[in-house]
Every structure is written in C-alpha cells, then in structure tokens.
Structure 1
Amino acid sequence: MIVVTGATGNVGRALVERLVTGGQPVRAVSRRDAERTALPAGVEVTRPESAGLFDGAVKLFLHVQATGDRMGIVLDKARAAGVRHVVMLSSGIIQEGADETHPIHMRHARAEQLVRDSGLKWTFLRPNAFSANALQWAGQIREGDTVRGPFADAVSAPIHEDDIAAVAERSLLDAGHEGAVHRLTGPGAVTNAGQVAAIGRVIGRDLTYFEIPVAEAEAAFFPELPRQTVRAVLKSFAAMVGSRPEITSTVEEVTGRPARTFAEWAEDHRADFAR
C-alpha cells in the first residue's frame, strides 16, 4: 500500500493515476468526500485525521503543503505503522547559495529536516517552476486576448506535473532512490510572455502578455498568501528576468523518457484555456 498525500493536487492526482494504472494499491489522502475527489475507481480515499491512515502501508508520498504544520505528527504515525520510505515533494529553491531567509526556502528546508530526522528512508524531489503555474492566467485567457502580469521576460524551465509524478512513481517503486535528491525541470527555457504565446498557439488565438508594475502585482496576485511571502516570490521572479534557468535531465534519467516541453503541457491543458 502506498499512501499519497495531496492526492487531489496537480502532482498528487497525476501520481495516483499512474500508480493505479500500474496496479499498485493506493490510499489517497484528501479532505474532500470520496465521491468529490474525481479520483480513479478503486482508489481508497481517506481523510488526513483517519486513525487507520497508514494501516498496511510501506511507502508514503509526502506533500509539504498538504500536511502543513502536522508533518511531524504524520511522520511519527507513518513510522509507527510500518512505513519504510517517504518520497517528499520539496522545492528547487533549496540549493547551494540560496537565500535561506526566503519563506518558501524556510518551509521546505524545515520539512526536509523533519523527514531526515524521522528515521525513515527518504527521497526528495526538488522541482523548479511548474508549468501548471500558467493556470493562474486561465481566467484572463478565457475572457480576452491579453494577460496582465509582472515580468514578461522572466525566464524559467517549467516542468509538467505528470513528469514530476513519473519521477515520484519510479522513486517509490524502484530500488536505488533512497537518499537521493532529484532536481527537476522542464527541457527548455521560456519567458512568461513565451508561455502565453505558446498557449495561444494551442488554442488558435494571438495572445499578448502585458507587463504590469510590481506594486500592482503585489496587490492583486496570490491573495491566499501572506504579503511577506508574495513580496519574496515577486523578488524571485524579478531575478529570473533575462536569466539562464537551471535545466536538468533528471526526468529522462529516472523515467527513461525526456521531460515534456511547455508547449506539450499547454496542449494537455487546452480545455483549461478554451472559451
């Protein structure tokens, strides 16, 4: 049995679908009722506070955001129930020379340390930019042909969520990933404006990215996050303007096939942007 936290998120859902397709028993952790998760048939769905969360489980996919402040408790319960290996979705922000005071760095570094201290075998996945971040523009694209946002020339190598899930799947099922840190990116660099243009080509429309001032972005974007975190994120975005993003071959090395381009991701998500 493999327990998957964050099972209705982008990566968690893709991982559950992969494991089920491969015939693996999966227990999906969600705060939603089972019938509202839209997960594949045959998946056992349970709530995070369930007393039998780890019954019979030997592997755990750990999502930092999904477990939040309860991560230490979750790890203790997993170890006590017999879980032996945890694959954690961390962040590419953790690297040599990084700003260790950045809120996202602090959260994920603390989480990684909790996992190291748990006594469980571990594997860390550290993706950089997610292609799925482009879904933040979906509403604007459905309504018109202009996307308003900061830093049109910010460059990243965004990764398809299913490529992250594919690496997670192999890390859970194959030997040799214990103690590994997998840095994950897409195969090529693209600007924010380039991402919007790629989405436009997929849906057959000429889309434009209109750059707005940072102050306007800070006020409007990521309303669910503390303003301190938003400012730190925008500072990181500013540093990406004209940069050369890290590009790794980890997806291909682990899964045997290349990471998908942003254009391929956009094709997979055509329906999210179509009117």
Structure 2
Amino acid sequence: MTILVTGARGAVATELISLLRRRDLLVRPASSSPGEPATVRCDLTDPSTFPAALEGVDSVFLYAEPSHIDAFVNEAVTAGVEHIVLLSSSAVLAPEAEANPLAKTHADVEHALASAPVRSTLLRPGAFAGNALAWSWPVKSGAPVSLPYPGSYSDPIHEADLAETAAAVLADPALGGRAYTLTGPESLTCAEQIDILGRATGRHIAFRTVTREEWKAETAGYLSEPIADALLDWQRSNDGVPTETTADVEWLIGRPGRTFATWAQEHAAAFTP
C-alpha cells in the first residue's frame, strides 16, 4: 500500500510520515515546495501536479484546499485511490458554517469528497495546541500578550495526537469511512493557557485585554479582515463557555491525548528569549 501525504512539511504531516514508516508502510511525502529528493511535488492549487503525485497511490492524507478539489478527486479516482483521509475542522459543525470563511474552506472539501466514488474519512480537530505559537513573539520580547477574550475556551489538541489518529485510520481500513471530532483532553481558557506557558518557561507571562479593533490592528499584517473577524466571533462564542471534549482521540490511539501542559513543555524554547 502506497500512502500519499500532502503538506509533508507541516507539523502534522511530518509526524505522520514518521509514524507510517515505523509501521513499515510505503509513504510518498508530497509538498508544493519539496525540500528533499524523496518528496514529490503536489501543489493543491495546481492541478498539473496531481497525476504524477497520485500515480500508484492507494490512500491519501489530504489537507483542506478547496480551489481545485474536484480536479484532485477526479484524478485520485482515475489513479485508483481507495481511501482519502482529510484533515478538516470541527468548525464545519457550527451553525451557518457555510458563511464562515474558516469553516467554508473545509466544508467545500468535505462536500467534494462526499459526492466522490472513493471512501473518505474526516478528521475534525478543534484548536491546535500549536496556535499558541502566535503568542511567542510578545512573550520573548517581554510584552504582554493581547487577548480580546481572555475567558474564551478551546480544546487545544497536540499535533502529534492528530498525526497518530491519521496513522490509525490509514493503517486500519475498518476505522475509515466516517467522521471523527477530535479534541484535546481538556477545555482551557486563553488566560489558562498563558498561565501554563508561564509555568513551562519558568517566567511570569502577562496579558492585556484588548478590543476587537485593537486585536485586528495588531494582526493585520498576517490575517485578512474576514479571517480575523471569524476568529474573533469564534472566541466570543466560547467566552465563558467550556468546550465539550470528545473521546474520539482516545478511541483511535488507545490512550488519552497529550495535555496542553505537555505541549508547552516541549515548546518552551519558542517562548524563551
């Protein structure tokens, strides 16, 4: 069995490739900008790269890129792909997801897979633990972290646990063909995550509460206004409302997921001057 892993340079895919190889499965890493000879070029925004990447492939680990998803699915079917595992998002489960630019990207890909004659598995994580890296610059510089909603809850999931869930469904066909809502093992506020990072680094990390407009001004260099508004709306909806966690991660990998404190300890150097 040959498994194509798209986005091979990403945190989840990098760990997934290692896990699959440890199971003695044949992996074909793929990236839009291959950095190693063993990595094939598969740019999900460029359909001309699909045929060579998919040739002889049985299963695919796919990142959600909707721009040419129909072409990708058609080429996968032509190549004889039997199983596609999509890294989607639990945002697709929210009311009016189609109007949310964060959710719509994933929903469009899910819809394309649902109508295709190929078995698909949907992995729907909530917040990634790695999202906390956005706070690393102010922490390292000694500035307070700007939080528009300090009491907003999320369920940060460790990227390594996401990789393990993907490896499980790719290696065992009996687990595929359905959707999984993946969460971290605990629901934490932004302020609680800051406190955990402080303990992991051995430093006090301050935060300040800012308005929506102040936060959008700070993030304008790397977040478009629609995305920033969607993130703010999501945080507002979870302000003071603990996130409901699921048992899907534990069921797939046979143990509870890693805590945010574990992630913080592993990445403490990123927050240290």
Fold match (TM-score > 0.5): yes
Which amino acid in the other structure matches residue 55 of structure 2? D
* Pairwise CA distance, 1:50: 5.8
| Distance in 1 of aligned mates of 2:143 and 2:214 | 20
Deviations 1:69-98 (A, max 9, x none): 122211111111111000001110122645
The runs of 5 or more residues in structure 2 that have no matched partner are 43-48
| Distance in 2 of aligned mates of 1:13 and 1:221 | 27
| Distance in 2 of aligned mates of 1:229 and 1:205 | 31
Q: How does 1:40-189 map to 2 (within 5 A)?
A: 44-48=38-42, 49=49, 51-64=51-64, 67-95=65-93, 97-144=95-142, 146-189=144-187
Deviations 1:155-202 (A, max 9, x none): 111100111111111011113223211000011111111111111111
Say if 1:193 and 1:208, in contact at 8 Å, map to a contact too.
Answer: no
| Distance in 2 of aligned mates of 1:223 and 1:126 | 28
SS of the residue corresponding to residue 44 of structure 1 reads coil
| Distance in 1 of aligned mates of 2:94 and 2:214 | 32
SS of the residue corresponding to residue 202 of structure 1 reads helix
Cα separation, partners in 2 of 1:120 and 1:222, compared to 1, 3 Å: farther
The equivalent residue for 1:236 is: 234
| Distance in 2 of aligned mates of 1:191 and 1:96 | 19
The equivalent residue for 2:24 is: 23
Which amino acid in the other structure matches residue 112 of structure 1? E
The percentage of counterpart residues that share the same residue type is 33
The equivalent residue for 2:253 is: 255
Cα separation, partners in 2 of 1:222 and 1:136, compared to 1, 3 Å: farther
The equivalent residue for 2:15 is: 14
Say if 1:11 and 1:162, in contact at 8 Å, map to a contact too.
Answer: yes
The count of aligned residue pairs is: 266
The equivalent residue for 1:215 is: 213
SS of the residue corresponding to residue 94 of structure 1 reads helix
SS of the residue corresponding to residue 39 of structure 2 reads strand
| Distance in 1 of aligned mates of 2:91 and 2:50 | 32
Deviations 1:94-119 (A, max 9, x none): 22645431112222111101011121
Say if 2:66 and 2:108, in contact at 8 Å, map to a contact too.
Answer: no
Which amino acid in the other structure matches residue 54 of structure 2? F
* Pairwise CA distance, 1:145: 5.5
Cα separation, partners in 2 of 1:113 and 1:19, compared to 1, 3 Å: same
